[in-house]
Amino acid sequence: MVTSHHEASHRIFQERPELLAPVFRILGVPLPENADVEVLSPDVTEIRPLERRVDTVLRVGKTNGEGMLLAIEAQGKRAQEKVVSWAYYLAYLKAKYKCPALLLVICQDKATADWATGPFRLGPDGWTALSLHPLVVGPGNLPLIIDQEEAAHDLALATFSAMTHSGHQEAPAILEALAGALRAADKESFSYYSDMLEIALGDDTPAQAIWRKLMVSRTLFPGRGTVVETLYLEGKAEGKAEGAAEMVLHVLEKRGIAMPDVIRKRIVGCADLPTLERWMDRALTVSTFEELFAEES
């Protein structure tokens, strides 16, 4: 699973290559029908110890036919020194794999996206020795998806849209639509996209706070069919409390409430279902773990 806000912006293309089709349509670039997508090594280091690494490299095309390479870079700000690296990536990939290469830059703010479109001319004034024309996806050309049905139709694009527009005034509506779509999705999709987006939204951002609240409300009430809920119901039906305890811990963790090991052991060790249900209700609103046991103390 991805481990940083930056990585999430490009890693989703590796793990959900179906996202390429709608993104290429937005960019007006033809994509081979029913194309196979293969993840290649991002290492473009040569023998001399100057390390260069592309965020993501994909081979797109037919298994037995000529395809193309797609280098994907997540860019958070203007950085003129990146231009030379981008040109190097494309030249190296073309030389190594003997097929055409494109560069796709992912930006989450319009100013950076406008800059990244180039074109960048590498050469002395008045003479273009090399010209670089990246494909760019950012807030200016990626659609806002605020309709739940539209989000459900393409979860990958809806999640990518939510990442890209996390600072937009419509961000709450975008996140609400995606949360509603994930509610009806299969468990694997729910887990993947909800966790991916939480990381991509960054730490302690308004959008991440909204998303965490939506995920708590969407996953913990009856009828959702989630793993946590299933554990809880199975535990209750069998007269056990393990499922309920797991759900209490899950809510507290999702809301970012730190808990020492002694508190975790206290929750897991509780065998009284009414007590666990009371803790569950409080877990949705408390600010610290101490508040969870207010009456008991």
How many CB atoms sit inside 10 A of residue 142's CB?
Answer: 22
Residues 29, 20: Cα–Cα separation, whole Å: 10
Q: Tell whether the model's pLDDT for residue 114 goes beyond 90.
A: yes
CB 20 within 8 A of CB 2: no
Q: Are 145 and 119 in contact (CB under 8 A)?
A: no
Mean pLDDT lowest among 120-124, 190-194, 271-275:
271-275
- The pLDDT assigned to 144 comes to 93
Cβ neighbours of residue 81 under 8 Å, at least 6 residues apart?
none
Per-residue pLDDT band at 184 (split at 50, 70, 90): confident
Q: Is the pLDDT of residue 116 over 60?
A: yes
Inter-CA distances, 65 with 13, 61, 94, 197, 280, Å: 22, 7, 16, 35, 56
**pLDDT category of residue 71 using cuts at 50, 70 and 90:** very high
Quick check: 86 pLDDT over 50? Answer: yes
Q: Find the mean pLDDT for residues 144-165.
A: 94
CATH match for 5-137 among 3.40.1350, 3.40.50, 3.30.70, 1.10.20: 3.40.1350
**75 to each of 50, 102, 107, 164, 237, how far by Cα in Å?**
21, 16, 5, 12, 50
**Distant-in-sequence, close-in-space partners of 247: CB < 8 Å, separation ≥ 6:** 220, 228, 229, 231, 232, 280
Domain boundaries, the chain: 5-137, 144-212, 220-297
Q: pTM of the full predicted structure?
A: 0.69
Cis peptide before 222 (omega within 30 of 0): no
Q: Are 178 and 147 in contact (CB under 8 A)?
A: no
